[in-house]
Amino acid sequence: MKSHDLAIRELNERIRRIDDATLKLNEVIEKISTFGLDYEKMTEAQQYELGAYVNLMNASTQLLVNPIMGLRPKYNEEDFKKYKIAKNKYELSEKERALIIYLANLLCEIEIKDTDKKPLWKYFKNDEKFLTAMKLSKKDFFDIIEMAETIKTG
């Protein structure tokens, strides 16, 4: 959730900056409409100015696109396939595949010290609500966590 909260704050700031750029671009649109439609007939100064405005529009677009792209999962089906091939884990079910990818993405944002892992995993293993929600048995829990961590660390 932390990464989503940061992305929302960043997007709000970027939207404010885009609003400022939009005001500038509206002024520019009126100005460049006098340049004509043929780039070759524009003066060098007009061509340079037009290029600067195109760059401003591209930068404004990237202000929105980059944080949204950052919300995409870090691990996907392709990472899972590589893991399966590397570990000869062909007997995994669709449910396990989805859970491993989900946990790898969840864990990628968290740095967990090795000394903290065992008590944390033990806590989750004994949390019946969590296991029920994840549709896991206690027996399968550690295998799934190990696989998710392996994908995370590559």
* Rounded alpha-carbon distances, angstroms, from residue 150 to 2, 66, 96, 100, 142: 23, 27, 14, 10, 12
pLDDT tens column, 52-77: 888 878 887 777 777 777 766 676 67
Residue 44 has pLDDT above 90, yes or no: yes
Average pLDDT, the chain: 76
Amino acid at 23: L
When pLDDT is cut at 50, 70 and 90, the band that residue 100 belongs to is confident
Phi, psi at 111, each rounded to 5°: -95, 115
Full-model pTM = 0.41
When pLDDT is cut at 50, 70 and 90, the band that residue 2 belongs to is low
pLDDT tens column, 15-33: 888 888 788 888 888 888 8
Query: Which pLDDT belongs to residue 81?
Result: 67
Query: Which pLDDT belongs to residue 62?
Result: 78
pLDDT tens column, 112-141: 777 777 787 788 778 888 788 877 777 777
Burial bucket for residue 135 (CB in 10 Å: 0-12, 13-18, 19+): exposed
Residue 104 has pLDDT above 60, yes or no: yes
